[in-house]
Amino acid sequence: MSSIGHKPGPEYPHRVEAIIEIPRDSRNKYEIDDDSGDVWLDRMLFTATRYPANYGFIPLTLAGDGDPIDILVLMDEPVFPGVHVWARPVGVMEMRDEAGPDAKIMAVPYGDPRWDQIQDLDDLPALLRSEIDHFFEVYKALEPGKSTETSHWGDRARAHELLVEARHDYKPAPPVVPKRRANER
């Protein structure tokens, strides 16, 4: 994803910019094109499961799978793909898929009083954590060559640690310099 207009901000990693790709309750898996910013339908989930939260990524980060670090923003309503949301990380689910480590930062909307009581992982309802676990254990189950394995949950401090690492590992792409034509010399 282009870094134009994105800044981690002075409160990072306590407040992060999340760019939503997939709305809560969707079976459609959308991806945002790195170059154009266009939203593309990547595929529909093969299973009868739906995303348990608004799912996206944190720009200016690089996770172990070579993509920006993933984030689930727990909200009452679905959010359109491409919308930017300020979020407050409260924990992390560490897992693996066929591409390697694939941590999912758990967050709540920043400044929303309905979520003020959620400060750390232990504040999330156990049933919600079980639903998220179950989703990531099975959502790729019917797709050939794909697999997932949930590992463990980490608290807010672990989420912050992963966010700092992912920010440190991010290296902006070099600018594209247009080639000069022979007659432009």
Please provide the DSSP assignment of 14-50 as one string.
TSEEEEEEE-TT--EEEEE-TTT--EEEEEE-SSS--
Q: What is the DSSP string of 116-174?
A: TT--SGGGS-HHHHHHHHHHHHHTTTTSTT--EEEEEEE-HHHHHHHHHHHHHH--PPP
Query: Distances from the Cα of 41 to the Cαs of 21, 44, 135, in angstroms?
Result: 10, 8, 20
The catalytic position among 42, 67, 102, 120 is 102
How far apart (Å, rounded) are the C-alpha atoms in residues 111 and 75? 12
Residue 57 near residue 30 (C-beta atoms within 8 A): no
User: Structure pTM?
Assistant: 0.89
Provide CB contacts within 8 A for 87, sequence distance 6+: 15, 16, 17, 18, 71, 73, 107, 108, 109, 110
pLDDT per residue as tens digits for the range 106-117 = 999 999 999 999
pLDDT at 5: 54
pLDDT at 99: 84
Residue 1 near residue 9 (C-beta atoms within 8 A): no
| Residue 102: active-site member | yes
pLDDT at 156: 98
Considering just the CA atoms, what is the radius of gyration of the chain in Å? 17
pLDDT at 10: 87
| Strand pairing category for 84-97 and 100-101 | antiparallel
* Residue ranges of domains in the chain: 16-169
Task: List the chain residues with pLDDT less than 70.
Answer: 1-5, 180-185
Residue 72 near residue 179 (C-beta atoms within 8 A): no
Neighbours of 134 (CB within 10 A): 13
pLDDT at 53: 98
pLDDT at 163: 98
pLDDT at 180: 67
pLDDT at 116: 95
The CATH homologous superfamily of the domain defined by 16-169? Inorganic pyrophosphatase (3.90.80.10)
